[in-house]
């Protein structure tokens, strides 16, 4: 049965999509069978895997709102072992349409329940908000992976993020856990980055991955080629870091 994980932080631009695309690509290279669900209307994860988001036949919207079997939405990517449920701007309307539905927080959990046996890991890329799509993700998963950018105000919004996790745990998903915290866009030349690492480690005691993702231009370039960095430039520091993170992720996930 797949472990289902949401990449979650309501702040935009912290490295959710970059982490989702690159960590899952590395896990797939290591032989794990992965499904990535893009639930952000921006569809950056979808295009990050080289899939044209305006050209897909079905998207996550069709499953969430119209009840289409998710198996009819899943597409192959160019990466062996890695499958994708695409998203596009159509999903923006789902936030409002969901409010009218019964069990509106449970929709995604129900949508994926029949495919959990088909994968080793299912990753969900959350939008940068605390709306119903994000709540649906937190209700559907076993754990959350939280990327935090090594920047000013890194911890800003983190208490709100933790409150949301607590609330979901208390009401709809008592088993929800923090999978781990990924520090991202680290710049070793600045004291600021080093301070942020310390602060985040203090806050999330024992939950922060040792692997830190550096700021690396290859990571920013790769999506415009529709490739994860491990295929775009396997020797780059960004590729090495995400491969290391994949190893650490597996070590951790397998003992817990």
Binding site for Mg ion (CB under 5 A): 16-17, 44
What is the nearest approach in angstroms of Mg ion to the Cβ of residue 16?
5
Minimum CB separation of residue 230 from ligand ADP in Å reads: 14
Nearest CB to Mg ion, comparing residues 110 and 129: 129
In angstroms, the CA 256 to CA 247 distance is 15
Q: Find, among 36, 29, 31, 27, the residue nearest to 5 by Cα.
A: 36
User: How many C-alpha atoms does 85 have within 13 Å on its Cβ side?
Assistant: 29
Alpha carbon separation from 246 to 21, 135, 160, 194 (Å, rounded) = 12, 26, 27, 23
* Beta carbon nearer to ligand ADP, 39 or 108: 39
Q: Helices marked H in 116-185 — which ranges?
A: 132-140, 158-171
Between 63 and 184, name the residue whose CB sits nearer to ligand ADP. 184
Q: Which residue is nearest to Mg ion (CB)?
A: 17
Pick the closer one to ligand ADP by CB: 128 or 226: 128
Shortest distance, position 133 Cβ to ligand ADP, whole Å: 14
Contacted entry of ligand ADP, Mg ion, none for residue 230, CB cut-off 5 to 8 Å set by kind = none
- Which contiguous run of DSSP H or E holds residue 4? strand 3-7
Residue 180 tokens, joined: 């781990």
Residues near ligand ADP (CB under 6 A): 12-18, 44, 128, 184-185, 213, 215-216, 219-220, 223
Partner that binds at residue 220, options ligand ADP, Mg ion, none, CB closer than 5 to 8 Å by kind? ligand ADP
The residue whose two tokens read 């990466």 is 79
């Amino acid at each position: 049965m797949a472990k289902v994980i949401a990449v979650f932080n309501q702040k935009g631009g912290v490295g959710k999509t970059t982490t989702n695309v690159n960590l899952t690509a590395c896990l797939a290279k290591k032989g794990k069978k992965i499904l990535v669900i893009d639930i952000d209307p921006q569809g950056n994860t979808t295009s990050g895997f080289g899939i044209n988001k305006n050209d897909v036949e079905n998207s996550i919207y069709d499953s969430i709102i119209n009840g289409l079997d998710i198996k009819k939405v899943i597409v192959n990517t160019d990466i062996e072992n890695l499958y994708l449920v695409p998203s596009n701007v159509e999903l923006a309307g789902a936030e409002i349409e969901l409010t009218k539905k019964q069990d509106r927080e449970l929709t995604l959990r129900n949508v994926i329940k029949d495919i959990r046996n088909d994968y080793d890991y299912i990753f969900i890329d959350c939008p940068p908000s605390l709306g119903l799509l994000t709540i649906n993700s937190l209700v559907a998963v076993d754990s959350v992976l939280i990327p935090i950018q090594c920047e000013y105000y890194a911890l800003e919004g983190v208490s709100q993020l933790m409150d949301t996790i607590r609330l979901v745990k208390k009401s709809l998903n008592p088993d929800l856990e923090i999978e781990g915290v990924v520090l991202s866009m680290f710049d070793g030349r600045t004291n600021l980055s080093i301070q942020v690492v310390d602060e985040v480690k203090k806050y999330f005691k024992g939950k922060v991955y040792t692997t830190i993702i550096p700021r690396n231009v290859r990571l920013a370039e790769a999506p415009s080629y529709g490739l994860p960095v491990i295929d775009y430039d396997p020797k780059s520091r960004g590729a090495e870091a995400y491969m290391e993170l994949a190893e650490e992720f597996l070590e951790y996930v397998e003992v817990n």
